[in-house]
Amino acid sequence: MFVVGGESLIDLISEPVGADGVIRLVAHQGGSPYNCAIALSKLGNDTGFLCPISTDGLGTYLLAPLAEAGVKPLLAERVEAYTTLAVVTFDAKKSAQYGFYRNADRAFTREGLIAALPAKLEAFQVGGFCPIEPEDAAIWLDVAREAARRGATLTMDPNVRPSLVPDFAGYKARLSSFLDIVNLVKVSIEDLASLEQSRAVRATELTAAEVEALVSKYVADFLGRANCELVIVTFGDEGSRAFTKSGSAKQGVYPAVPFGDTVGAGDTLMAAVLTLLNEQGNLKPGKPGAMDDAALATMLRFGAVAAGLNCQFVGCHPPTRGEVDAVLAKG
């Protein structure tokens, strides 16, 4: 089984002010780990999601897509805490501004999370909000270590959110503890810029030389750790790159026609990468680092197609395995 640990939440997305002067918010299910779990299951993997779900109506709303995709909620007992919310508004330049109100996603105990883990796992994916709060990070680290003892390859998508972190230096130290134990990490260029400058930075603000310097610095950092064998960096509409100690590959995006939005694209790419690595026997520790350039390119191509198909819709709608295979069969 693949297990994804981390937050689920409701994105409340602001619509333009109406003629009546009222701002309306539209609710969408979300959270990077939540999206990744759904994508993994739709690609044909036995998948469990390790996150508390509220007893409120929004918790029920979150459960519906999990059930539809075949994801197993591993914490069967729902919690009284209200569902976590992310309120998304837009400034004059139409840049998204996020306000987070965390509740149910933090309503866990170390004992409860570990007890919910399956006896055997292929992979344990962690990230998102897990390193943000010191007490939460300590628990999630223990859960990840226990998952590894049960056979899991540890993977991470940090999805860095500076606006959520009052103590960014402390956050970086906690994130580093996770990076010390994972075998595979996926980051976006925005993640790297935020880690470097401790603030949200758009990739479009960076020069090509700055981008290359950031990538080189952090890839060397990650691959220099004891366990990390594979680093994937995404660049929005410029595609993705993969790195091991002995090889690398680059892949452009698969164009979404029609185009909806990019919500969940990175989560879908991550799920697709894990899917293909597992099928090829390259997921177990010791295997990703031995992949040659051609194998890395094949992996990124699979991920790009899955992400591109997701982007044909508004919101996160990962493709099925059959839909990805149909595109790949066309060459």
- pLDDT digits 0-9 by tens, 102-122: 999 999 999 999 999 999 999
What's the one-letter identity of residue 259? F
Q: DSSP 3-state assignment of 93?
A: coil
Number of helices (H), then strands (E), in the chain:
10, 13
| CA angle (311, 130, 265) in 5-degree steps | 5
Does the pLDDT at position 131 exceed 80?
Answer: yes
Give the orientation angle of helix 208-223 with respect to helix 189-197, to 10 degrees.
90
DSSP letter assigned to residue 49: E
Instruction: Name the pLDDT band for 206 (thresholds 50, 70, 90).
Output: confident
* Paired tokens of 36: 């990744």
Pick the closest to residue 174 from 207, 109, 130, 223 (CA basis): 130
Strands 248-251 vs 240-243: parallel, antiparallel or unpaired: antiparallel
What's the one-letter identity of residue 212? E
Q: Radius of gyration over alpha carbons of the chain, in Å?
A: 19
CATH of 2-7+31-80+108-329, one of 3.20.20.70, 3.40.50.620, 2.40.340.10, 3.40.1190.20: 3.40.1190.20
Section 200-217 average pLDDT: 85
CA 17 from chain centre, in angstroms, equals 31
Which residue stretches of the chain are H helix? 32-42, 57-69, 110-116, 134-149, 168-179, 189-197, 208-223, 265-279, 293-310, 321-329
| CA angle (70, 111, 132) in 5-degree steps | 80
Residue 250: how many CB atoms within 10 A of its CB?
15
Region of poorest pLDDT, from 31-35, 195-199, 273-277: 195-199
Section 316-327 average pLDDT: 97
Instruction: Name the pLDDT band for 16 (thresholds 50, 70, 90).
Output: confident
Strands 123-127 vs 96-101: parallel, antiparallel or unpaired: unpaired
Does the pLDDT at position 226 exceed 90?
Answer: yes
Instruction: Name the pLDDT band for 179 (thresholds 50, 70, 90).
Output: very high
Does the pLDDT at position 99 exceed 90?
Answer: no
d(CA 268, CA 318): 6
Region of poorest pLDDT, from 272-281, 291-300, 311-320: 311-320
Beta bridge partners of 98: 88
Pick the closest to residue 271 from 184, 181, 203, 208 (CA basis): 184
pTM: 0.95
Asked if 139 and 113 count as a contact pair (C-beta separation under 8 A), the reply is yes
Pick the closest to residue 51 from 78, 85, 88 (CA basis): 78
